[in-house]
C-alpha cells in the first residue's frame, strides 16, 4: 500500500481562515480532517468547531464539509448539476458558501457512509 503524498493531505493556504470567516469564528476554533473523496482531484475536509456546534445561516450544525476543487475542474457545472438534481428531488449536499476564485466550497455533511456500502439487490430500487 502506497503512502499518501503530502501535497494531497496539506490544506491550501488560507482555507482555514476562509472557513472561519464563513462561520464567523476564529480560525483556531475550527479543525479540518481529510475525508475520503471521489475519483476526481477534489479534496474534502470535515470541518469541526471546537465547541462542537457551529452557527451558519441561523442553523446550528455539528459539522460541514470543505471541498477544495482545482481550477481544472468545471466548478460551475458541479453547482449546476447539484442544483438540477435537487430540483428533481434528489438529495444533494447543500452548498452553504463558495469562493469560485479559489475553488472552495462549504457543503452540507452527509456523514461517512457511502452509497456503495448501502447498496444491495434489496435496496437498489430505492436508489435507482
pLDDT per residue as tens digits for the range 72-119: 888 899 899 999 999 998 888 888 899 988 999 998 888 776 666 777
pTM of the shown model: 0.75
Give residue 53's pLDDT. 67
What does the pLDDT average to over 42-48?
Answer: 88
- Looking at the DSSP bridge assignments, the partners of residue 98 are 105
Q: Does the pLDDT of residue 57 top 70, yes or no?
A: no
| Cβ contact 114:36 at 8 Å | yes
| Cβ contact 23:49 at 8 Å | yes
Q: Does the pLDDT of residue 3 top 60, yes or no?
A: no
The grid coordinates of residue 60 equal 446550528
| Cβ contact 107:96 at 8 Å | yes
What is the dihedral sign for C-alpha 85, 87, 93, 99?
positive
Cα–Cα distance measured from residue 86 to residue 81, given in angstroms and rounded to the nearest whole number: 8
Amino acid at each position: 500500500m502506497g503512502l499518501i503524498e503530502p501535497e494531497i493531505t496539506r490544506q491550501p493556504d488560507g482555507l482555514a481562515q476562509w472557513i472561519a470567516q464563513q462561520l464567523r469564528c476564529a480560525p483556531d476554533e475550527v479543525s479540518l480532517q481529510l475525508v475520503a473523496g471521489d475519483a476526481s482531484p477534489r479534496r474534502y475536509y470535515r470541518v469541526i468547531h471546537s465547541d462542537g456546534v457551529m452557527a451558519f445561516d441561523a442553523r446550528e450544525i455539528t459539522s460541514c464539509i470543505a471541498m477544495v476543487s482545482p481550477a481544472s475542474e468545471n466548478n460551475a457545472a458541479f453547482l449546476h448539476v447539484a442544483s438540477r438534481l435537487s430540483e428533481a428531488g434528489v438529495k444533494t449536499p447543500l452548498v452553504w458558501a463558495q469562493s469560485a476564485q479559489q475553488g472552495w466550497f462549504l457543503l452540507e455533511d452527509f456523514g461517512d457512509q457511502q452509497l456503495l456500502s448501502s447498496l444491495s439487490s434489496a435496496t437498489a430500487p430505492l436508489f435507482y
